[in-house]
Amino acid sequence: MTHYHSNGKLLLSSEYYVLDGALALALPTNRGQLLHVSYAPSEHKVLHWKSYDSNGEIWFEARFDIETFEALEGYVSQKSLVLQKILQAARKLASNFLVGKEYVLVETYLEFPRLWGLGTSSTLIYNVAKWAGIDAFALLFGTMGGSGYDIACAESKGPILYKCIKEGAPEFIPIDFNPPFKSQLYFIYSGKKQSSADGIEYYKKFKKENTKNKDLVNRLTKITQSMLAVKTLKEFEQLIAEHEQIIAKNLNLERIKNKFFQDYWGEVKSLGAWGGDFILATSDKSQAETQKYFADKGFDTFLTYDELVKDDTLIDKSK
């Protein structure tokens, strides 16, 4: 049996505009996805796939013909067709992928609830790429598309700066993001999963109408760089407010703080595609008081920065 693991992801800055080269601050999460593969002799060449959610329950199961990766009768669905596309793309990138195998059992295990939007698809693509021995970015861009920051997070030990390069491989570097106010940053699940693909399509629509796109990319890049330099929570909150205003104004979107948290004392920032998944909240009050505020409004999934964000680089430095 072979095993693969990848991290989930959060995009702290430059959402949407990361697609056009804005420098982004991205955070890998300490919850991701596992992929286990085992092989056995069989009369039939079958790839048997089982996906388990964070509660240990099967949420997806299918069987594929190993030679073509087409879903077998009785297992054809929207989800199986997406996986079929990924497997077939992996075969194109690695012609010997599973060639000559008979029965193959794949079991995947999510370490976070599926609706959290931390990268169910990106962690899958990364794990399949490692299994096939191919470049994970090539597999992503040949199937699901996107900026690729989630693939960079999948293998990162800690926070990264990420930049898309047109007609070239993306650039990303590990960074030391350990601000003194880190304990005053919280992540709250919005209660709604947001489609990244839909968010990208929405952005492309407005991008065509916006002649200031290059200026916006530069402004968001500067905000990202400033996020790494500020030393106080107040300065960080000012950057969040500016960032939110830029996205809201130029993409005709409503700030989540204006929509749900007008009476909140700190700042609130949407992460990734606006309208779902996780939000970032800052607070100069106690964790208990902050958590109660969001719970009273019906937002029960409340995590501290250290509970959600992976940063093994800090562990390495402490040794």
What is the distance between the alpha carbons of residues 195 and 181, in angstroms, rounded to a whole number? 31
Q: CA torsion 113→114→118→122, rounded to 10°?
A: 140
Q: Domain-by-domain residue ranges, the chain?
A: 2-174, 182-318
Q: CA torsion 202→276→78→205, rounded to 10°?
A: 0
Residue 233 has pLDDT above 90, yes or no: yes
pLDDT tens by residue, 178-189? 999 999 999 999
pLDDT tens by residue, 125-139? 999 999 999 999 999
- Cβ–Cβ under 8 Å, residues 29 and 158: no
Please list, residue by residue across 143-171, b when 16 or more beta carbons sit within 10 angstroms of its beta carbon and e when fewer do: bbebbbbbbbbbbbebbbbbbbeeeeebe
Residue 306 has pLDDT above 80, yes or no: yes
What is the distance between the alpha carbons of residues 265 and 87, in angstroms, rounded to a whole number? 48
Tell the CATH superfamily of the 182-318 domain: GHMP kinase, C-terminal domain (3.30.70.890)
Mean pLDDT over residues 102-130, rounded? 96
pLDDT tens by residue, 198-230? 777 777 776 665 657 889 999 999 999 999 999
Tokens of 239: 């950057």
Phi and psi at residue 74, to the nearest 5° = 95, -10
| 189 closest CA partner among 291, 70, 314 | 291
The domain made up of 2-174 has a fold known as Ribosomal Protein S5; domain 2 (3.30.230)
Q: Per-residue confidence at 93, pLDDT binned at 50, 70, 90?
A: very high
Return the H-helix or E-strand segment holding 186.
strand 185-189
| 275 closest CA partner among 258, 293, 256 | 256
Mean pLDDT over residues 72-88, rounded? 96
Q: Per-residue confidence at 44, pLDDT binned at 50, 70, 90?
A: confident
